[in-house]
Structure 1
Amino acid sequence: MSQFDQIIDRVLAHEGGYVNDPRDPGGETQWGISKRSYPQLNIRALTRADAVEIYRRDFWQRVRGDELHKAFAFQALDAAVNHGIGNAVRWLQRAAGVADDGIIGPRTLAAVAQADPADLVLLFNAERLEFYAKLGTFDAFGRGWTRRVAGNLRYAAKDN
């Protein structure tokens, strides 16, 4: 079983099923896949299996999850899903102490490989929490977001 297959259920548990909350800038979503990002999809009819393949292709591969330490790979995937690839990559780069250009290249991968995975997880999630706190929708969704990060820190302790 691949690393992705071992952790995707965590992301799906965070994202849940069908949601169309008018307060959520993501709009209509199913399994965390949004109509805004995938306008061609019938979101209500999106299957779990289809969502998993979207996450594998459009998120896991773009954060180069197979090349990340297992204690950190889930963190990168979950943030990419929740905040977008660019934000997740820049936070990863800041946590690893390299220029945050939004591109995972050889320098970023080398820095990540040299970093202590536990330190990387902590620094990355600090970036994530600061981002959440700046959002105008924090009052509506902040409690759930901070619980998500708390759960992710618990996963990191198990994954290390």
Structure 2
Amino acid sequence: MAVFDDCFSFVIGVEGGYTDNPNDPGNWTGGAPNQGQLKGTKFGISAKAYPTLDIPNLGLADAEAIYRRDYWNRLQGDSLPPPVALVAFDSAVNAGVGNAARWLQMAVGTKPDGVIGPQTLAALAAKKPGAVAVEMLAQRNAYNYSLSAAANFGLGWSRRLFAVSQQAAIMQA
């Protein structure tokens, strides 16, 4: 529970409040600029992922419930060492649960099927959490720069990766 709280506090801190940048695909209910309605993103909860939510009026408690149910629990967050839990959780919020799970699986050498299960957790237990977190961030960085949106958002994504790395190191200590 305390690890979730720490991870949630970090993610809320980097996600911030409400934004409706029309160039951000996540702010549109259709998942692309000018596709659907521009409802925005708040606390990292996007119109793309939750097109029926009233994003501007989303409360912090609602965001926390969504994060726990749709991200943390799907990642088996309570079973992950703190630095890996943070990187996986932040990655899931920023790039999707499937990507976060695959980056963890690639970091521990299991089949990257996007679902964290017993094999992934067993392989993780045999690795150093800090090294796994670093490899996950490297995989995420490569992914980020493969996206066409990197020209607009890449520097911000890089800042976030460095902040996640720093916080994961603190959680490792």
Q: Do they superpose with TM above 0.5?
A: yes
The answer for the alignment partner of 2:98 in structure 1 is: 86
Superposed CA deviations along residues 89-110 of structure 1, whole A, max 9, x for unmatched, are 0000000111101111110010
**TM value normalised by structure 1:** 0.97
The corresponding residue for 1:69 is 81
Deviations 1:79-138 (A, max 9, x none): 000000000000000001111011111100101111111110111110000011111111
Point out where structure 1 has 5 or more consecutive residues left out of the alignment. Answer: none
CA RMSD in angstroms, aligned pairs only: 0.9
- Runs of 4 or more above 4 Å deviation: none
Q: After superposition, give the CA deviation of every residue in 1:3-55 in whole Å (9 maximum; x if it has no partner).
A: 10122111011111111111111011111101121122111100111111110
Q: CA deviation at 1:139?
A: 1.2
Equivalent AA in structure 2 for residue 132 of structure 1: N
> Which residue of the partner structure matches residue 4 of structure 1?
4
Letter paired with 2:19 = V
Q: Is this contact kept in 1: 2:42–2:55, CA < 8 A?
A: yes
State the alpha-carbon separation in 1 of the partners of residues 81 and 100 from structure 2. 15
Q: Which runs of 5+ in 2 are unaligned?
A: 28-39
* Cα distance between partner residues in 2 of 1:47 and 1:83: 22
Query: What's the % identity of the aligned pairs?
Result: 45
- When the two structures are aligned, how many residues end up with a matched partner? 160
Provide the residue aligned with 2:154 in structure 1: 142
Length-normalised TM-score, structure 2: 0.90
